[in-house]
Structure 1
Amino acid sequence: MNQTYLYLLAPLHTGGTTQEGNLVGIARESHTNLPYIPSSTIRGKLRAIIYDKKNKFQLFGNELGDDNAQLEQGDIWIGDASILFLPVPSLSHGIVWITSPLLLHRWVRYQTKSLTIPEIYSCSFKQNNSNVYLKDAILKSGDLKEWENWQDFIPKNDITKPIDKVLILPDQHCATLIEMSLWRQVKIKLDEHKTVDGGFRYEEAIPPDTLMYYTNGLTTKANGSGEESLKELNSLISSNRIIQFGGQESLGRGFCQQWNNTPNPA
């Protein structure tokens, strides 16, 4: 099982299953309501950027309408992309990247190195000895704890260097702040005379500078003989360092930097 990381360069919107009133939501996990990128979105994008038809069928299988009428499974599978750290504005610290025990536990189970999840309110900036102001939340310096090995939880890449102020919040508080930190853009339809035609709507998006990851590996069809397919997938990801997911590509939305990361050795 491999991991691929995504560092959002722009707001990212992947359509949800429902629309409530004039709010166009994003894809969310049913049990946590946290935003995520569906595996079908990632798989579809990776499949679309392969030009060699043979490699495309080998990795992802065929589809209805392809030359072969019988559907066949490909050699690789793609998982959903989950949030690892999400940036929130702070009046006291500029930007703080937040996470929670649940989000860290999800990530740690894919690591080969044994990592212990720190206590809630552990942070990388305890030495500042100042209160933390996050949106409508205030954390007193006395409640914060030192997170000594926080860098072990940040995948090594030049683009992740700005992530230097990290904080672990309780799951429910983290989810609330993530909800408050989503981008919501107002869209108004105009006619040819530049006058409002109809109502308006809000579109949600995951903010830029969010760090996410997804897992991938070989399907049972490969049956231990798909090493070449895995190398092909890794090459595909490495050669497409900047990739775009979701809609609004013409507006520069959904662009991410992606890279493969070998799990930390034991």
Structure 2
Amino acid sequence: SLGEAEANKWYGQEAESGKPDSTTESVVKFEYASLLWLPVFCPGQPIVWVTCPRLLKRYQRIAGDYVQLKDGTSLKSAKPPANYTGSHTLKALDINGQPKLFFNFGFLTVEKTQDLSAWFPLGEELPAVVVADNEIAMIHDMALYRQSRVALDKEEKKAKKGAFFNTEALPEGTILVFPIALKENQETWQPFGASTGTDIYLGGLESIGFGHCYLTLKEV
């Protein structure tokens, strides 16, 4: 909204064909987003957020120096929750004295519960469970939202040439984290004005409803 010159200042000027050295270095640098908590349908919950130690350790490397635990220590010094640890907000079904969660792929026994709020970027502890590293791939594949899209020909009831495609997306409620770096000695970067968060579209499929996110900035 502040114009192309302001955008080029913060995010760098794009290259122009035939003009060497036409790009400029950005003041703001974005790193890749990392999956942290994946929402999965679970009868009786109805949604459980799932992660694994490898994803938690990646989050720990990103935010470990800046997130404080309730005892005053940093997240960097904390040991990630063990496999099959549930959050205090989880309501597992008690079957023969064992709390269990039922997913489409089978059931999972919750071996213990603990406060997992420090492992949620915004501090709100959701119904959640930690699974093993070698199990998250299957759960991730099961949780993906898949849909076929088509545009019909105006004259016949058939798909337009090249207008049939499949989409695959992360489910609504997925929590991702990514670091943002700023050059030193720069004026304050306020992409959302006075607010620290906003609704935003990421990617090129907003016309069909994909890429809608709520982005929250946490300054450290």
Q: Normalized against structure 1, the TM-score is what?
A: 0.66
In the alignment, which residue of structure 1 is the partner of 2:208?
251
Deviation at residue 165 of structure 1 after TM alignment = 0.8
Question: May I ask how many residue pairs the two structures share in their alignment?
Answer: 200
RMSD of aligned Cα (Å): 2.8
Aligned partner letter, 2:170: I
Whether contact under 8 Å (2:12, 2:26) holds in the other structure is: yes
In structure 2, the CA distance between the partners of 1:165 and 1:239, relative to structure 1 (3 Å rule), is: closer
Greater percentage in helix = 1
Question: Aligned runs of 1:179-198 on 2, under 5 Å?
Answer: 179-193=141-155, 195-197=157-159
For residues 236 and 60 of structure 1, do their structure 2 counterparts lie closer, same or farther at Cα, with a shift above 3 Å needed?
farther
Which digits, 9 at most, give the CA deviation of each residue in 1:95-152, with x for residues without a partner?
11000111100101122223320111111137764321112121135xx222x22011
Q: 1:210 aligns with which of 174, 177, 187?
A: 174
1:164 aligned partner, one-letter code: L
**1:51 to 1:262, Cα distance in 2 relative to 1, 3 A:** closer
Counterparts of residues 14-29 of structure 1 (less than 5 Å): none
Q: What is the rounded CA distance, in whole Å, between the counterparts of 1:102 and 1:152 in structure 2?
A: 16
Report which structure shows greater RCO (CA 8 Å, sep ≥6): 1
Aligned residue number for residue 3 of structure 2: 52
Any unmatched runs of 5+ in structure 1?
A: 1-49
Cα drift, residue 68 of structure 1: 9.8
Larger Rg: 2
| Alignment partner of 1:131 is 2:100 | yes
> Offset of 1:240 from its aligned partner?
6.3
Identity of aligned residues (%): 25
1:153-173 per-residue CA deviation (whole Å, 9 max, x = no partner) reads 11227xxx5x62111011121
Q: Is 1:70 matched with 2:33? A: no
2:71 corresponds to which residue? none
- Per the alignment, in what secondary structure is the counterpart of residue 185 of structure 2? coil
Q: Which of 71, 82, 94 is 2:46 aligned to?
A: 94
Kindly tell me: are residues 55 and 250 of structure 1, through their superposed partners in 2, closer, same or farther at Cα, counting changes over 3 Å? same
Q: C-alpha separation between the residues in 1 aligned to 2:216 and 2:134?
A: 30
1:149 maps to what in 2? 115
Question: Does the CA-based 8 Å contact 1:105-1:117 persist in structure 2?
Answer: yes
Amino acid at match of 1:225: N
